[in-house]
A and B are shown apart, each in its own frame.
Chain A
Amino acid sequence: MSAPALLETKGLTKSFGNVKAVRDVDLSIPRGSTFGLVGESGSGKSTVARLVLRLIEPTSGEIRFGETDLRALKGDKLRRQRRKMQMIFQDPFGSLNLRMTVGETLTEPQSVHGLGRNDAERRARGEALLAEVGLPAAAMDRFPHEFSGGQRQRIAIARALATEPELIVADEPVSALDVSVQAQILNLMRDMQAEHGTTMLFISHDLRVVQYMCDQIAVMYLGEIMERGPRHRIYEMPQHPYTQALLSSVPGSPKEDGKRAKLKGEIPSAHSVPSGCAFRTRCPHAFDRCKVEVPVMHQLGEGQEAACHLLDR
């Protein structure tokens, strides 16, 4: 908890035209931890992933990576910074170059960042990476389409590890996989994280997966953080009505009056975010104030915070 933050954002905001996809997001990810970002579609969680990696340009806000001001980096400096921060995508088929062998895929990050003294050394490291993710060295000369979905995601993980990054951002890394394979990849990522001490930003819509993987969790809704805190606080004593509803909507959760749904209505479109609290149109406790005033974060102890007017007293 007291570990210094590796990644920190302040007031991170991104607009696409007149759609505000992400608004005022403050994150602080302690070094060596796994930080979970959960939310439904339109919550802006994947946009945050791309913003902190500077794959898209923020409209405003700060991003700090350790001592580095990421927003100040440009061109080649930014590119070289990428050695320290890598990404794993949802679709292992789309994120691999189908025309490159696994070997090329694994040596490329090393060579573009000047790691390894020669090709032989980089190739040896590629084979070591494959072994680490549980694939035989024979895979080096194969192409991505010769592998199953789970194996491809292993290759993507190996690629992300190739530069020994300090931060890995994983965007829904298991949601394209079958349940039985999903568990393999989750375990693999947990092991990697433990072994290398890598800091991880883990993005998912699946609350159970996030609970399994993450120490710190932030819940997003329509581009804003509703609640954040350590895992046990979020899952055992959620304070924000949205977090509560989200957790009790998971299939298998106890029903009230024989009903599963705790929320009425649908997620509003990002084009027309409600005034005041973004969640108020679906909130069972909404009152007049929620319409006019954006709630601020309330400190709830142990690092738990929630943005809701109900917490005022």
Chain B
Amino acid sequence: MTAADTQAEAREAIRAPRAPSFLQRFVRNPTAVLSFALLVAFALMAIFAPLIAPGDPMRVNPVVRFTPPGAEYFFGTDNLGRDVFRIVVHGSRTTLLVGLVVTVISMGLATILGLLSGFYRAVDVILMRFVDGLMAFPGIVLATAAAGFLGPAISTVIISLTIVLISPSLRVVRGQVLVVREAQMIEAARATGVPTGRIFRRYILPAVMSPILVQASFIFSAAVLGEAALSFIGVGIGPTDISWGNALTEARNYISQAPWIVIFPGLALMLTILALNLLGDSLRDLLDPRLARRR
């Protein structure tokens, strides 16, 4: 009889309709879709660079120097007669490669260290002092010094940007772990007798994944910007490699004669960073459980 009572009392529809999945919400968010599409376009451009803009981007042709943008040279030519369009297309390879590698390494390390730091007080104290020290210090200065000692090369850029960008990522992961660790669901799981390993896998990791994903897109954008800045001041990738930052180094001397040499590589750079930032913003909105709860 009591069971019948109970059911009568609970008689209430389960709140329909079902909440849309992450993918459904992503597709319905124009900013997310647009920024993601833009990134895919850049990635395709990097992958198929030799097909899109065949030829050696470094080939000099003084006869056509300072040609304004037109049908033959979409983005014009620079002071040595190099095709700016070709430079922009091929330059995306360096930029995206550095961005990707730096993001993967620094987020990977930050996740491991952040989890450790969130759970072991001793690790936390040491790591956080280190992070405090690095966080405030300008990464470019450090990377400049590093480039001086290690010599300009892609590997130097990757190493120094990783060192610089690991701190903010570590902070985000650790902060999230600390929040999740105190969440009541963890206490509830412990009280139920769920083993620690399983709590880690089923409770903590999924909860920290969203902020990691969001942070990754911001780190990616910071790495792209960092590579460009380092290359621009001449301590990034080697002078014979092509990147958007490198292209601007010399271009700046000709800004009054041929502004297009400055505008197009910079525009490509900005669009990439913009797309990454917008993606990060919309991911943050989409993954916020508070928003999901509000339907």
> C-beta contact mask, B175-208 vs A, less than 8 Å → 1, else 0?
0000000011101111111110010001100110
A277 lies within 8 A of chain B by Cβ: no
Q: Which of chain A's residues has its CB closest to B17's CB?
A: A146
Q: Which of chain A's residues has its CB closest to B293's CB?
A: A145
- Residue contact B188 to A89, C-beta cutoff 8 Å: yes
A85 to B203, CA, bound (A): 21
Point out the residues of chain B lying under 8 angstroms from A100, CB to CB: 202
- Residue contact B203 to A87, C-beta cutoff 8 Å: no
- Contacting residues of chain B (1-52) with chain A, CB-CB under 8 angstroms: 2-3, 5-7, 9-12, 14-16, 18-19
A232 lies within 8 A of chain B by Cβ: no
**Closest Cβ–Cβ distance, residue B202 to chain A (whole Å):** 7
A106 to B270, CA, bound (A): 50
**Which secondary structure dominates chain B's binding surface?**
helix
A271 lies within 8 A of chain B by Cβ: no
> C-beta contact mask, A101-117 vs B, less than 8 Å → 1, else 0?
00000001100110000
Sample (29) of A-B pairs whose CB atoms are under 8 Å apart: A50-B187, A55-B187, A76-B195, A82-B191, A86-B191, A89-B188, A91-B184, A95-B188, A98-B185, A98-B289, A99-B207, A108-B202, A109-B192, A109-B193, A112-B195, A112-B198, A113-B193, A131-B7, A132-B3, A134-B6, A134-B9, A134-B10, A135-B10, A136-B14, A146-B18, A148-B15, A151-B10, A163-B193, A188-B6
A59 to B187, CA, bound (A): 19
Q: Which of B19, B188, B193, B203 contacts A80 (CB 8 A)?
A: B193
A134 to B184, CA, bound (A): 24
- Residue contact A87 to B9, C-beta cutoff 8 Å: no
- Residue contact A95 to B193, C-beta cutoff 8 Å: no
**Closest Cβ–Cβ distance, residue B144 to chain A (whole Å):** 43
B255 lies within 8 A of chain A by Cβ: no
- Residue contact A108 to B185, C-beta cutoff 8 Å: no
A188 to B203, CA, bound (A): 28
Point out the residues of chain B lying under 8 angstroms from A195, CB to CB: 2
Q: When A97-B203, A113-B193, A134-B10 are in contact, do A187 and B5 touch as well, CB less than 8 Å? A: yes
> C-beta contact mask, A78-90 vs B, less than 8 Å → 1, else 0?
0111110011010
Q: Which of B6, B18, B191, B206 contacts A133 (CB 8 A)?
A: B6
- Residue contact B185 to A97, C-beta cutoff 8 Å: yes
**Closest Cβ–Cβ distance, residue A246 to chain B (whole Å):** 27
Point out the residues of chain B lying under 8 angstroms from A147, CB to CB: 14-15
A80 to B203, CA, bound (A): 19
Q: Which of chain A's residues has its CB closest to B185's CB?
A: A97
Which A residues form the contact surface with B (CB < 8 A)?
50, 53, 55, 76, 79-83, 86-87, 89, 91, 94-100, 108-109, 112-113, 131-136, 138-139, 142-143, 145-148, 150-151, 154, 156, 159, 163, 184, 187-188, 191, 194-195
A150 to B193, CA, bound (A): 24
A265 to B187, CA, bound (A): 35
Q: When A109-B193, A132-B3 are in contact, do A184 and B10 touch as well, CB less than 8 Å? A: yes
Point out the residues of chain A lying under 8 angstroms from B185, CB to CB: 94-98
For B12, B198, B206, the residue with the greatest tally of chain A CB atoms inside 10 Å of its CB is B12
Q: When A97-B203, A99-B207 are in contact, do A142 and B6 touch as well, CB less than 8 Å? A: no
B292 lies within 8 A of chain A by Cβ: yes
> C-beta contact mask, B77-103 vs A, less than 8 Å → 1, else 0?
000000000000000000000000000
A135 to B190, CA, bound (A): 25
Q: Which of B6, B11, B19, B289 contacts A187 (CB 8 A)?
A: B6
**Closest Cβ–Cβ distance, residue A255 to chain B (whole Å):** 35
For B3, B190, B192, B198, the residue with the greatest tally of chain A CB atoms inside 10 Å of its CB is B192
Q: Which of chain A's residues has its CB closest to B292's CB?
A: A145
Which 7 A-B residue pairings sit nearest by Cβ, starting from the closest? Answer: A134-B10, A82-B193, A94-B184, A134-B6, A95-B188, A87-B191, A191-B2
**Closest Cβ–Cβ distance, residue B288 to chain A (whole Å):** 12
A113 to B193, CA, bound (A): 8
A139 to B18, CA, bound (A): 12
**Closest Cβ–Cβ distance, residue B64 to chain A (whole Å):** 59
- Contacting residues of chain B (145-195) with chain A, CB-CB under 8 angstroms: 183-185, 187-195
- Residue contact B183 to A134, C-beta cutoff 8 Å: no
Q: Which of A94, A108, A133 contacts B192 (CB 8 A)?
A: A108
**Closest Cβ–Cβ distance, residue B146 to chain A (whole Å):** 41
**Closest Cβ–Cβ distance, residue B99 to chain A (whole Å):** 30
Q: When A143-B19, A145-B19, A146-B15 are in contact, do A96 and B188 touch as well, CB less than 8 Å? A: yes
- Residue contact B190 to A148, C-beta cutoff 8 Å: no
A145 to B16, CA, bound (A): 11
- Residue contact A79 to B193, C-beta cutoff 8 Å: yes
